[in-house]
Amino acid sequence: MIGSAGAILSVRRICKTFGPVRVLHDVDFDLNAGAVHALVGENGAGKTTLARIIAGTHRDDGGGMTLNGQSYRPAGRTDAQRRGVRMVMQELNLFPTLTVAENIFLEDLPRRFGVINYRLLHRRAEELMAAIGLRDLAVDEPVGNLTVGSRQMVEIAAGLSQDCRLLILDEPTASLTDRETCLLFDQIRRLRARGVAMLYISHRMQEIKQIADTVTVLRDGRIISTHAIDTLTVEEIVNRMVGREISHAPAARTAAKGRVALRVENLCAGPRVQNISFDLHKGEVLGLAGLIGAGRTETVRAIFGADRLTSGRIYLGETAKHVRIRSPRDAIAHGIALIPEDRKEQGLFLPLGVDRNIAVPNLSRLSCAGIISPAAERTLARRHIDTGAIKCAAPDQPAETLSGGNQQKVVIAKWLARDCDVLIFDEPTRGIDVGAKFEIYAMMADLAARGKALIVVSSDLRELMAICDRIAVLSDGCLAATFSRNAFSEQTINAAAFSRHTATFRTQGAAG
Amino acid sequence: MFANRSRLNKYPLLPFFVAALLLTVIASGCTKRGSQDGKPRIALVMKSLANEFFKTMEEGARGHHAEHKDLYNLKVVGIRNEEDVAQQVDLIETIIAQGTDAIVIAPADSEALIPVCKKAMAAGIVVINIDNKLDRARLEREGIQIPFVGPDNRKGAKLAGDYLAAKLKAGDEVAIIEGVPNAFNGIQRKAGFQDAIAAAGLNLVSSQSGNWETAKAAECVSAIATEYPGLKAVLCANDSMALGAVDALKTAGRTDTVYIVGFDNIEAVQKLVKNGKVLCTVDQHGDQLAVYGIEYALDILNTKAAPADKETPVDLVTAETLK
Amino acid sequence: MNNSHRRIPAWLTDYLGMAGALGLLLLIFGLSTENFFSAATFGTIANQIPDTTIMAVGMTWVLIIAGIDLSVGSVMALSGAVLGVALARFGIPLPVAVVACLLVGLLCGLASGLIVVAWSLPSFIVTLGMMEIARGATYLVTQSRTLYVSDRLEMITDTTLLGLSAPFLLAVLIVLVAQFVLSMTVFGRHMVAVGTNETAARLSGIAVRRVRLAVFAVSGLLCGVAALINTARYQANPNNGIGMELQVIAAVVIGGTSLMGGRGSVVSTFFGVLIIKVLGTGLAQTGAQEPTKRLVTGCVIIAAVVLDYYRRRLRKTGTEAAQ
Ligand SMILES: Nc1ncnc2c1ncn2[C@@H]1O[C@H](COP(=O)(O)OP(=O)(O)OP(=O)(O)O)[C@@H](O)[C@H]1O
Ligand SMILES: [Mg+2]
């Protein structure tokens, strides 16, 4: 494949080190016009780093690139954009106080006499959002009010807003549901037809089979192989990524239902949580499914005390004791944990080391009379770095320098280290590689087997169907239906997810 | 909230128009009001009312007014910081707009206040300058005459300097702690100290600004005392700084070998003058300074006399005079 | 990779860098003045830093939780004023007056903190308000007069241990305790977490408001402690501590504490204070005039933070890309 004639971008012997750690070793590869090139690899393999070098946000330490036959070494993001190279970031990079429309067109706001033409801006934004299926999102809403999924859509829209010759998508679908993913793929196909080259990074193998033309496997910063997508099976790709065989059928759940661990009655919190009631049993894994904006995250946040309840009651434990949860602190005191969806904003202390991040919710256990024992803190961090397979150079490596998937593992580790009875996972496998995903599934199964009660929010329906005992489907803020394991089917769950959304939305969703 | 947003987005200048409209309405409410009872109205425009010196001055004026309620109406205004020229200009403009017969002003700056004073005079208001003397040359250029009623700071400082010189011999090392660099009375006091130093042949080793502040003066005096082990005296342009000098010399263990001179005769220093920690200070009768100005303003209003400068007394304060 | 190789220099370079900068300043002043290297100089510096240091400790904590406290100078003045009035006007016994002084500081800090957390307001504007309130209250309490109290507070300034003054030892003790709390206790870790990412801190079960409130209260209390020392030396002057908040913030930031929160060290703050004070004393010993002093001080502040930027970049494992 190397050096193929139609190459728009050729990367030759690119190297990158961060301090003493070598992240990319002599990477060679080519991107062709009008083709989708998938880049896969484990967490921390160097995918994002490579993409960022191409997009100009990192500088390489050696090697060279050519773009359309001319030498290419962007000085920064804007330089790369001038040459027609754009990137949709894995970590969201929007301005929370600006509106959706402003974020999308930030680099090219329509102006009249130096004053922003909001009419035109909003019209353009609405058109674009409609094209990727976000008709119900107000374009003058500040981005800070959106959920991660919607924000990811805005990020994608911003990437699509300008013409380009090479578009890099770094895990664009990590928190999208099937519906949004389909619409995104329509856009990708449209761009491909127009001759745009695309580099597509994802951990979702089905998607890669569906959309990519070529796949390159990266392992520990080295290119393992590049193949046409049809010549490899998913198993083969995964095996190349990991460098060994992995078993990836999740342990079948044997639901030994225990007593009620958490009962939620008529929970209301804002417009997106209306009269939600359900029981969660010890040893049970309950999935929460629904479209983006259906209120899944809002529901679990309300249970955790992160948002204020307008009404409703929560009962805990075998005696079904009524508890008042006014803050996350109360929730944690009652043995509830929430692994939030937005690791960067809500889960991590980015400049702090992995060890300190893991320690934060566990300080009472690591201290005596308010004084922290550094030894206990180190031991805890080491243990979770090992069991969670967190790839870091040292326990005190700042969380912000970890790869996306490894950051996610830190957030999970932080809460596993605290022995809670009810664990709520909001998009736990967002950005996690295939191998690690199965480890997380196994870990969840183990927690359930030990009598913990789990709620899992995920936009990946297949994931929920694989790991849950029951799936509750939310639709427009209401609980539309609950399915137990023997009644799981993609079709019925999807139908329930659409059931309460508006008519236009439904027809559109059906089309997608 | 968000419904509003989009409107703002469409009409980004809307808030400015609303604000402008409001301001116009407010401004038109402030029309000129005449004197109701026929007594002359005098506005006393002070510097920082937080400063002890000006506070004393103000209290003197209020006391005077309380005794002579039938003679005039008094309004006292002050600014936040001693150096806030802009605020003082605004104050005077407000006073002109509201109407008054005379303004007695302690200007925050000896030049910057002249234009607005000229404006006041053009409005037929009698303007009297107290405390900080307005710049003569600038007044002449503007073609106006504003009488200064107040003490001669230079003379006062010379008095203190001479008293100190009598205790020292020619060639002795002394230092001056100045006020803020641009203050006219500070400059005058420094000049007075220098006059005395030159006359007695003392050796001025350092002259630094203590910004009128205790802590800053302490820092300077400490450093000077260390650098000049033979230092014999510190002359401070006000008493707050003299307090700083007292502290600095005490921590340096030099209280007994270095004389301290202050200026203003504030209460806290009187105790120190009595027990000899401060050699002397200068009383310019702060409580009377504004009163002199007011009396002179009334005088001019009644007699329509041509304005001329008027000097008020300054006195040396020592352990003997306080007894 | 070799951890131990990387970790030890990390905290050592922090202090070595600061100590190096300090050494450089000492060297420059040592060469440019006659008596800089003398016990007297270091005695004066040791005498001048305690109040600033103690306030800077509080400010370090406040900056670490991503807040700012502009009221420190005024709160110190108010505490000192209460102390002064209690002693000089009402003749209240010393221990009671001291408790009142500390309480006033604590209450001001609590008030700022409560308002900040109750309405989630930016501490910049709340403490700016508190700065005005406390200053106004100071003028009221002292009636804008300096009260002489040194004679009642001699035990504070004159107690020494091993040749070091009590205030200096107290300041060092507070620095060490505050550093210990910051780096070794749960509360300290909570402060860092709140300052780094408030949302994540809340979702991790940290009582964000309580941490905030406590930090502001501590900052206020430390202002009260600083007031004891400041007043003992400079008397209860209503103008004490004006502009001190900026000096304190400068010292803290020179010490490498981030204005954006989450990162800081109390010990480094102590070096920051030393740098500022050595600079002040050194410049005064060279006899530099006010404009020079300000120019040089400004340059040193900027140079210090620029140096800190490079030090941090060197320490980072990775070089962040050009944006
Ligand atoms: N600024 C940095 N400083 C130090 N190490 C870094 C920095 N940025 C990235 N790394 C390291 O480089 C490695 C590769 O990271 P990269 O983000 O490219 O991985 P990735 O393949 O995108 O993984 P993921 O699938 O988890 O997103 C990781 O081990 C990470 O810790
Ligand atoms: Mg990545």
Q: What is the pLDDT of residues B225-269, one digit of tens each?
A: 999 999 999 999 999 999 999 999 998 889 999 999 999 888 889
Cα–Cα dist B30/B52, whole Å: 33
CB contact under 8 A, C233 and B208: no
Q: Are B244 and B210 contacting, i.e. CB atoms less than 8 angstroms apart?
A: yes
pLDDT given at position A94:
86
Residue in B4, B6, B9, B16 to test binding to A, most A beta-carbons within 10 Å: B9
- Tokens describing residue A228: 């046409």
Residue of A nearest to B7 (CA): A118
Are residues B206 and B278 both part of a single domain?
A: yes
pLDDT tens per residue across span A418-430: 889 999 999 998 8
- What CATH number is given for A4-242 in this structure? 3.40.50.300
CB contact under 8 A, B226 and C40: yes
- Helices of type H across B148-213: 153-165, 184-200
DSSP assignment of A240-305? HHHTS----SPPPP-----SEEEEEEEEE-STT--SEEEEEETT-EEEEE--TTSSHHHHHHHHHT
pLDDT given at position B21:
67
Cα(A153) to centroid(ligand 2), Å: 18
Nearest CB to C146: which of B211, B222, B240? B240
Are residues B275 and B229 both part of a single domain?
A: yes
The CATH number linked to B183 is 3.40.50.2300
Which atom of ligand 1 has the smallest separation from the CA of C320?
1
| pLDDT bracket for residue C214 (50, 70, 90) | very high
Q: Is residue C151 part of a domain?
A: yes
Instruction: Reduce the DSSP state of residue C82 to 3 states and report it.
Output: helix
Number of structural domains, chain C? 1
Residue B185: Cβ within 10 Å count: 24
Does residue B30 surpass a pLDDT of 50?
Answer: no
Are residues B144 and B210 both part of a single domain?
A: no
Mutate to test the pocket of ligand 1, among A15, A16, A17, A23 (most ligand atoms within 8 A of CB): A23
Does residue B210 surpass a pLDDT of 50?
Answer: yes
| pLDDT bracket for residue B3 (50, 70, 90) | very low
Are residues B163 and B263 both part of a single domain?
A: yes
Between A352-366, C165-179, C280-294, the lowest mean confidence (pLDDT) is in C280-294
Does residue B1 surpass a pLDDT of 50?
Answer: no
Number of structural domains, chain B? 2
Q: Which ligand is nearest to the CA of A42?
A: 1
Strand partners, B270: none
Please tell me the distance in Å from B52's CA to the nearest CA on chain C: 5
B215 CB neighbours in chain C (<8 A) are: 230, 234, 240-241
Residue of A nearest to C199 (CA): A346
What is the value of pTM for the model shown?
0.87
Chains B–C, number of C-beta pairs less than 8 Å apart: 119
C235 CB neighbours in chain B (<8 A) are: 214, 243, 268
pLDDT given at position A286:
95
Q: Indicate whether residue A202 lines ligand 1 (CB < 6 A).
A: no
Does residue B34 surpass a pLDDT of 50?
Answer: no
- For the CA atoms of chain C, what is the radius of gyration? 20
Question: Parallel, antiparallel, or unpaired for β C164-165 and C160-161?
Answer: antiparallel
Residue of C nearest to B251 (CA): C44
**How many helices and strands in chain B, by DSSP H and E?**
13, 12
Q: Is residue B75 part of a domain?
A: yes
Does residue A1 surpass a pLDDT of 50?
Answer: no
pLDDT given at position C227:
97
Span B181-196, average pLDDT: 90
Q: Which residues of B119-131 are buried (b: 16+ CB within 10 A; e: fewer)?
A: ebbeeebbbbbbb
Residues constituting chain C: 323
Q: Indicate whether residue A47 lines ligand 1 (CB < 6 A).
A: yes
Instruction: Reduce the DSSP state of residue B285 to 3 states and report it.
Output: coil
Show the domain range for C145.
42-242
pLDDT given at position B244:
94
Strand partners, A423: A337, A454
- Helices of type H across chain C: 3-32, 39-64, 72-84, 94-118, 123-142, 154-158, 166-184, 186-196, 198-203, 208-234, 244-254, 266-286, 290-315
| pLDDT bracket for residue C2 (50, 70, 90) | very low
Does residue A251 surpass a pLDDT of 80?
Answer: no
Strand partners, A227: A215
Q: Is residue B129 part of a domain?
A: yes
pLDDT tens per residue across span A316-375: 987 888 999 999 999 999 999 999 988 888 999 999 999 999 999 999 999 999 999 999
Are residues B89 and B203 both part of a single domain?
A: no
CB contact under 8 A, B9 and A118: yes
Mutate to test the pocket of ligand 1, among A218, A391, A401 (most ligand atoms within 8 A of CB): A401
Does residue B10 surpass a pLDDT of 80?
Answer: no
- Tokens describing residue A104: 């999308």
| pLDDT bracket for residue A154 (50, 70, 90) | confident
A111 shares contact with chain B (CB less than 8 Å): no
Span A372-384, average pLDDT: 94
Are residues B168 and B260 both part of a single domain?
A: yes
| CA neighbor of A260 nearest in space, from A451, A121, A118 | A451
Chains meeting B at 3+ CB pairs closer than 8 A?
A, C
Specify whether domain A260-509 bears CATH 3.40.50.620: no
Cα(A401) to centroid(ligand 1), Å: 6
**HSE-CB for B193 with a 13 A CA cutoff:** 29
**HSE-CB for C203 with a 13 A CA cutoff:** 28
- For the CA atoms of chain A, what is the radius of gyration? 23
Does residue B308 surpass a pLDDT of 90?
Answer: no
Does residue C319 surpass a pLDDT of 50?
Answer: no
Between A455 and A130, the higher pLDDT residue: A455
Are residues B77 and B62 both part of a single domain?
A: yes
**Range(s) within chain A of domains with CATH label 3.40.50.300:** 4-242, 260-509
| pLDDT bracket for residue A252 (50, 70, 90) | low
Q: Is residue C161 part of a domain?
A: yes
A140 shares contact with chain B (CB less than 8 Å): yes
Provide the mean pLDDT of chain C.
88
Strand partners, B281: B317
Cα–Cα dist C299/C297, whole Å: 5
| pLDDT bracket for residue B2 (50, 70, 90) | very low
pLDDT given at position A504:
42
B55 CB neighbours in chain C (<8 A) are: 143-145
Q: At what angle do helices A503-511 and A490-498 cross, to 10 degrees?
A: 150
Cα–Cα dist A348/A361, whole Å: 11
pLDDT given at position C204:
95
| pLDDT bracket for residue A253 (50, 70, 90) | low
Are residues B188 and B272 both part of a single domain?
A: yes
A57 shares contact with chain C (CB less than 8 Å): yes
pLDDT given at position A507:
40
| pLDDT bracket for residue C196 (50, 70, 90) | very high
Between A248-262, B177-191, C196-210, the lowest mean confidence (pLDDT) is in A248-262
Does residue B15 surpass a pLDDT of 90?
Answer: no
pLDDT given at position C188:
96
C-alpha torsion A459→A463→A466→A469, nearest 10:
-30
Residue of A nearest to B8 (CA): A118
Place of tokens 């400790």: C57
Are residues B85 and B164 both part of a single domain?
A: no
Percent of chain B whose pLDDT exceeds 70: 88
Which residue's alpha carbon is at the smallest distance from atom 8 of ligand 1?
A: A401
Between A512 and B222, the higher pLDDT residue: B222
Span B115-120, average pLDDT: 91
Cα–Cα dist A223/A15, whole Å: 12
pLDDT tens per residue across span A73-113: 999 888 998 899 999 887 777 888 899 888 888 877 888 87
Span B185-213, average pLDDT: 93
Which residue's alpha carbon is at the smallest distance from atom 7 of ligand 1?
A: A401
Residue of A nearest to C323 (CA): A76
Q: Indicate whether residue A41 lines ligand 1 (CB < 6 A).
A: yes
Are residues B293 and B236 both part of a single domain?
A: no
Provide the mean pLDDT of chain A.
87
Residue in C186, C187, C191, C202 to test binding to A, most A beta-carbons within 10 Å: C186
CB contact under 8 A, B213 and C233: no
On whether ipTM exceeds 0.90, the answer is no
Show the domain range for B238.
153-283
Instruction: Reduce the DSSP state of residue A470 to 3 states and report it.
Output: strand
